[in-house]
Amino acid sequence: MHIQEQQIAIVGGGPGGLTLAKLLQQAGCRVNVLERDADREVRQQGATLDLHRDSGLKALEVAGLMPEFRKRYRPGADKVKVVDAALKMHFDDHESKQIDAFDDAYFRPEIDRGPLRDLLIDSLEPGTILWNRQFDSMEARGEGWLLHFKDGSTATADLVIAADGANSKLRKYITAIQPVYSGISVVEGNIYRAEHNAKHLFNLTAGGKVFALSNGQSLILSAKGDGSLSFYTGCKTPEDWASSGKVDFNSRASVFNWFKASFDTWSESWWELFQSDESYFVPRPMYHYPLDQSWASLPNLTMIGDAAHRMPPYAGEGVNMAMQDALELYECLVDPGYNTRLEAIAAFEGIMCKRASGITRLTLEQTEALHSGEALTHLLTLFTNNHGEA
């Protein structure tokens, strides 16, 4: 197959795309990452990420990046508290012994998105990432593709990998299968200088995470290494709720008014999340793909991560699945047992779709459980099983 002789374009510079680029470069492949951001400093948003031994951590290990990961992960960020709407404490593992054995079955080390992205970027050869390449369209060119970007630039590739996230612009070139609304919408928020702007809730997280559940609603807080506090509210809404215009997500006051009305049984202590102008809010309706999705494989185009199998975040699998996709696609592409790219891609997609189906099913079950009347009991059972007696 001689994959090393072919030009590979990865569209999207998230953890999945960057991991794949690193692995392919290790195998001597010619690869570029085409990223829409203007530079590496543009976006450092989102909550912390917990990497799992058999997926995210395994990909880093094969890429030779575990020493750097150990330098940059956040010990203690995996500590968890569980409270209810009134902030009554139901579980707290901050007093338990810190697990820092990377081969422990329950150890899921946390790292902020920014440091993980920087780690991966720093591992690539200079010039690998082409910034400010927002994908517009592509067309067949010989046995490969000609890609067009919003800035007027173009690129050619023998093989294109879509790693451009949940709202992928490349997925339509592979399949017409549409996502399914889960019934849950999330408001993602980030509070900068949280020790000053949300002091009580910042202290409550104690550098870790807080899960708050009540009345079919959820609120998850995560402390970040830069001193900010990220959060996700989750509740059942109509599919068009976020786009209906009922809430102006560019207005802190509008989001605050929505929260007070929708989370009206919750303690006013949560209002701290909306007291500062040093914040941002983004609505995210939660979608997933059908459990039985499949498509006819192509010899010059495939996809990984959320582009292939988006799902709600309530099982913590998103980044891990993307990095596992990267590892498994790399293994198939460099496997001498496959005679053609089509054979290698078809093998990868078969493995990926089967794995994604099982994890999507579990994620949907978890999403439903965490937004049910028995959510608190459900989560306490999970944490008791994984951490010992609560």
The region of weakest confidence among 44-53, 127-136, 229-238, 266-275 is 44-53
Whether the per-residue pLDDT at 300 is higher than 60: the answer is yes
CA–centroid distance for 134 within its chain: 20
pLDDT score recorded for residue 62: 98
Q: How far apart are CA 198 and CA 288, in angstroms?
A: 33
- The topology under which CATH files domain 3-45+124-177+290-368 is FAD/NAD(P)-binding domain (3.50.50)
User: Is 306 within any annotated ligand binding site?
Assistant: yes
- Give the pLDDT band of residue 388 (cuts 50, 70, 90): very low
Q: Where in the chain is the domain with CATH 3.50.50.60?
A: 3-45+124-177+290-368
Is residue 233 exposed (0-12), middle (13-18) or buried (19+ Cβ within 10 Å)? buried
CA pair distance 99, 227, nearest whole angstrom: 23
Architecture of domain 180-288: 2-Layer Sandwich (3.30)
Mean pLDDT within 331-349:
97
Q: Which residues of 296-311 are buried (b: 16+ CB within 10 A; e: fewer)?
A: ebbbbbbbbbbbbbbb
252 is in an annotated binding site: no
Whose structure tokens read 């802190």?
252
Instruction: Give the per-residue pLDDT at 387.
Output: 53
Q: Is 361 annotated as a binding residue?
A: no
Say what the pTM is: 0.94
For every residue of 260-282, DSSP letters joined together read: HHHTTTS-GGGGGGGS-SSEEEE
pLDDT tops 50 at residue 6: yes
Q: For 59, phi and psi rounded to 5 degrees?
A: -60, -45
What confidence tier does 148 reach under pLDDT thresholds 50, 70, 90?
very high
Report whether pLDDT(47) > 90. no
Render pLDDT for 190-240 as a digit per residue (tens, 0 to 9): 999 999 999 999 999 999 999 999 999 999 999 999 999 999 999 999 999
- Are 235 and 259 within 8 A, CB to CB? no
pLDDT of residue 141: 96
| pLDDT for the residue numbered 153 | 96
Q: What is the mean pLDDT of residues 36-54?
A: 83
Is 335 annotated in a binding site? The answer is no
Every domain range in the chain assigned CATH 3.30.9.30: 180-288
How many helices (DSSP H) and strands (DSSP E) are in the chain? Answer: 11, 17
- Would you call 174 helix, strand, or coil by DSSP? coil
Residue linked to tokens 């500590």: 79
